[in-house]
Amino acid sequence: MHPAFSVIFLTTLIGAGQGLFLGLFGAEALSLLGVLPPPGSDFLALGSALALVFLVLGLIASFFHLGRPERAWRTATKWRTSWLSREVIVLPAFMGVVFLYGAAHAFGFNPPLGTLAGDVPVLLTVVLGAVGALLAIVLYVTTAMIYACIKFLQEWHSPLTVVNYTVLGAANGFTLAAAYAAWAGVPLVAFLATVAIVLTVLGLGTRSASLVRNSRIKSKSTLQTAIGVKHPKIQQKSQGFMGGSFNTREFFHHMSAAFLRGMKWIFLLGAFVVPAILLLVVLVTRIDPVNLLIAAFVIQYLGMVAERWFFFAQANHPQNIYYQSVA
């Protein structure tokens, strides 16, 4: 497939935004349980604003993918059958909850909505945060299922696609949360950086698993099934036209195999190895973590962009069988 930068930026930016929100709410929830020090309302409010910035930027990027963006509202109508429609519903819903969560913290509006057994108050921000966290996970799933549900794009049609979108986005988001906590001087860096390392290493494992899986894929469609001629030796002599067409532009990445291999190593290093090392350095040394963590996030984000580029480029669409020879 031809990697479209609009979709690459959409999925990586909202992935980081979702992960950041999961980090913020995770820290708040654990602080209420007494495991972590309280992060403070200002930290959570500004963090929610930062998450919203990423989500909005992702949403803006997505509009560049559309030929008719003015009709984008129509995309919410077919949620019964289309994962794209479901994503389009969940993304604004998640953004709305993040906004309310941040606003509640910013204005200190946090009344208990009820009590659990043992007189534990259920705070408004906890309810909003829990709903937001659930929507963040659902959004990872809906985004990934857009690709995973197309069965003849065999590289994508796997549960690993959903796992990778979730784990990679969350890893990048937790790295961002750790950098933000370090910048804000909130004593949550160790917790957030630890989770970020765990997710990054986990992501390296699950993404490598999908690389191994994809390297062994045997295409179900062949030239024989494509034109229905059962002869072992068939050669295309003409694709019917000599100029380009939508078929030759949309479904080919037009890069060399060496470029593809290079991109694979770039994203393995950039998205996993380098950020994991930087996060580890922050955890075990006493170096000022702010710049290191910001560097870790930026490198990991660029690694995610490379990963997403590779994700699209590696998918081999069966229609390409029909476009092997110009004339």
Partner 1 sequence: MTQLALVIDLNVCVGCHACVTSCKEWNTSGDAGPLVDQNPYDADPTGTFFNRVQSFEVGEYPNTETVHFPKSCLHCEEPPCVPVCPTGASYKRESDGIVLVDYDKCIGCKYCSWACPYGVREVDAERKVMTKCTLCVDRIYNEELPEWDRKPACVRACPTNARLYGDIHDPESVVSKAIREAGGYQLMPEWGTKPANHYLPRRKTQLTIREDEVERADNPLKIDSQLPKPGQDEPSLDDVTSW
With tokens 């690459």, the residue in question is 8
Question: Per-residue string for binding with partner 1, 172-201, x by CB under 8 A?
Answer: ------------------------------
Rounded distance, CA 109 to CA 45, Å?
A: 11
- CB under 8 Å to 64, separation ≥6 — which residues? 5, 6
Stretch that binds partner 1, among 110-118, 185-193, 219-227, 292-300 (CB under 8 A): 219-227
Binding mask 236-265 for partner 1 (x = CB under 8 A): xxxxxx-xxxxx--xx--------------
Question: Which residues, 6+ apart, have CB-to-CB distance to 25 below 8 Å?
Answer: 101, 129, 130, 132, 133
Q: Count the alpha carbons within 13 Å of 87 in the hemisphere toward its beta carbon.
A: 21
Identify residues 72-91 at the interface with partner 1 (CB under 8 A). 72, 74-78, 81-85, 88
Burial of 79 (0-12, 13-18, 19+ CB in 10 A): middle
Residues 87-126, mask of contacts with partner 1 (x by CB under 8 A): -x--------------------------------------
Binding partner 1 by CB under 8 A: which of 34, 118, 185, 228?
Answer: 228
Which residue, 68 or 286, is less far from partner 1 as judged by CB? 68
Beta strands 112-116 and 120-123: pairing type?
Answer: antiparallel
Please tell me whether residue 64 binds partner 1 under the rule CB under 8 A: no
- CA–CA distances in Å: residue 56 to residues 16, 134, 196, 206: 12, 19, 23, 28
Residues 136-155 that bind partner 1 (CB under 8 A): 146, 149-153
Binder among 68, 216, 218, 286 for partner 1 (CB under 8 A):
68
Binding of residue 225 to partner 1 (CB under 8 A): yes
Structure tokens of 148?
């995973």
| Residue 65 sits in the site that holds partner 1 (CB under 8 A) | yes
Neighbours of 216 (CB within 10 A): 6
What is the contact surface with partner 1 in residues (CB under 8 A)? Answer: 1, 65-69, 71-72, 74-78, 81-85, 88, 146, 149-153, 220-221, 223, 225-229, 231, 233-241, 243-247, 250-251, 317-320, 322-323
